Structure 1
Amino acid sequence: MGVKGFVEGGIASIIAGCSTHPLDLIKVRMQLQGENAPTTNIRPALAFQPGSVHRSPAVTAQPPRVGPIAVGVKLVQQEGVAALFSGVSATVLRQCLYSTTRMGLYDMMKKKWSDPISGTLPLTSKIGAGLLAGGIGAAVGNPADVAMVRMQADGRLPSAQRRNYKSVVDAISRMAKDEGVTSLWRGSSLTVNRAMLVTASQLASYDEFKEKILKNGWMKDGLGTHVVASFSAGFVAAVASNPVDVIKTRVMNMKVEAGSPPPYSGAIDCALKTIRAEGPMALYKGFIPTITRQGPFTVVLFVTLEQVRKLLKDF
């Protein structure tokens, strides 16, 4: 029974991850917008006063932010349609490790903690199960997560600076060789925190929304209920996780030069530097592609999961 939950969750996660990969890639590119971008010092013009020199304070001009459609179009124009699936091998490995673990563990805990008579589980217990399952899953899948972020971000770098990983296996082996095995767990605290937030908000809210819909008789247990509950869960997960996701993306993608200090000393340093340079709303960069990815991903995930459960119900 326990293994079945891992198999069902793994199949649904791989299908959902691959089908929404281009949206995830655009989200990563948007989250890196403005990072290390050159700024221009603009001095407002003042009326000339004979015999005196006026120096006005410089205003730092940030480069204009580009929306998800423009990012996608530019990506296809510069790198080709195939670039939309950059790092998809890492996505598959990540779903095999991270999502299979979190979905299976959540299913086990939910069954173990549910009331034996009514079969229900309080929302707080669902959240607790999600936090625990997400944290463990993220720790297992972090190497694939780092590889995926780097492979997705590679195309935005100048040709001379690109890492040009051939596959997720090449990425992980080169990272371990060039930067040490510990680099595979770079940003792991962020990955764990994000995964705990996503899993708790996504899985717990899906179960809660689905139960409420069925309990109140708004809809029958079918595709419509699964879509409504899953999209609602995707929105909750996107709001909860986006700030951590931005910081995670930047920490994982940072290039550490030999003999030089890293751009960020850790998650807090990255958050402070990001807010200082780009404002607090920078933590919600990529939110539109996050929700446009998180929504469909969650819908595909749970709709597929419900169908897989039906197919495997006799096993």
Structure 2
Amino acid sequence: MSYDSSLAQSFGSFAAGAFAGVCGVLVSQPFDIIKVRMQNTSGGSLSVLSYLIKNEGFLALWKGSGACLFGICISNSISFGVVENCKKFLSHGRDKPLTLLEHALCGFCSGACTSLISAPAEGVRIKIQTQGFLDYHGDIHYKNTIKVSLALLKLHGICGLYRGFVTTFLRDTIGDTFFYSTYQAVPKYLLGTGDINTEKDIFAIIISGGFAGVAFWTITYPIDLLKSRIQSDSIINPRYKGTVDCFVQTLNEEGWKTFTRGYLPCMLRAFPVNIALFVGFELAMKFVGRDY
């Protein structure tokens, strides 16, 4: 294989990841806004959905999609691109296929990189999704994601945009470790289709992608709830000092069951969204090609 084709594959995996992100956002956004609002209130999924449509309109299900689409495309581009290039690096000069532990390591590296993008992108999106639903004294309503971003920068500097970074980093590194290793493990251990590195057919992609999403969110959901609360906190008068303070206040005031609030819509979202992600990615990679 020539150097040019190798370079094309390296960059092509990032483009394939961006395409996968678009597919995922189109499916995920209605589920995500319900999850975020449930994490910050006591309402059930149907009551939150009913309130949203009745008071804000059907298109409100895609509120915050601007920041989400931009952020998810970039973060998925980085996520899939880092994983594919880590796999290529670890495969170089060896005949043996990658182990499940090595796939998990690739996922960890992916999460570490994507958290740098997902923290500010998700923070801005969550602010848009919860304003008007969570009314904080002194906060104003912002028309779009740009105005929210500027307000955060003006009041708190770059740290304002990266509020909740610790929880985002923990969620993404732990989550992606299980996400990508589960995707590789399902065909062998659940479907019995051979080695974990065997190229997957469409059925295997669908099942593996769905279970990968379930694994990600089941492992990281309590962390994501803390992240959501920190990032939806008041811009003017924040309630939480940080991750530990948010955890302590939530546990003391609402109990441990609060950490599962919104889990059901999250699971309903996880399967179809991650099917869309992996189907989109694998289809795009058909054009890019792999030699590892």
TM range (shorter): 0.7 to 0.9
Give the conservation status (yes or no) of the 8 Å contact 1:135–1:195: yes
Distance 2:188 2:96 in 1: 11
Give the conservation status (yes or no) of the 8 Å contact 2:20–2:76: no
Give the conservation status (yes or no) of the 8 Å contact 2:139–2:234: no
Bigger CA drift: 9-18 or 185-194? Answer: 9-18
RMSD between aligned residues:
2.4
Give the conservation status (yes or no) of the 8 Å contact 2:139–2:235: no
Change (3 A) 1:100 1:19: same
Computing the radius of gyration from Cα coordinates, the structure with the larger value is 1
Give the conservation status (yes or no) of the 8 Å contact 2:71–2:117: no
What CA deviation, in whole Å up to 9, does each residue of 1:63-104 have, x standing for no partner?
xx4321221111101111111111000111211332211211
3-state SS of 1:156 partner: coil
Give the conservation status (yes or no) of the 8 Å contact 1:18–1:91: no
Per the normalisation by structure 1, the TM-score is: 0.82
Q: 1:270 aligns with which of 235, 243, 246?
A: 246
Distance 2:199 2:282 in 1: 14
Partner of 1:10: 18
Q: 1:81 aligns with which of 58, 74, 89?
A: 58
1:148 equivalent to 2:156? Answer no
1:223 equivalent to 2:231? Answer no
Distance 1:20 1:270 in 2: 26
Q: 1:19 aligns with which of 6, 20, 27?
A: 27
Partner of 1:238: 217
Bigger CA drift: 193-202 or 238-247? Answer: 193-202
Give the conservation status (yes or no) of the 8 Å contact 1:23–1:289: yes
Per the normalisation by structure 2, the TM-score is: 0.88
Identity %: 24
What CA deviation, in whole Å up to 9, does each residue of 1:98-154 have, x standing for no partner?
221121111110121137555621121211211121111111332211101111111
Bigger CA drift: 290-299 or 304-313? Answer: 304-313
1:89-128 alignment, distance < 5 Å: 89-114=66-91, 116=93, 118=95, 120-128=97-105
User: Unpaired runs of 5+ in structure 1?
Assistant: 34-64
Give the conservation status (yes or no) of the 8 Å contact 1:144–1:172: no
> Number of matched residues?
279
Change (3 A) 1:310 1:172: same
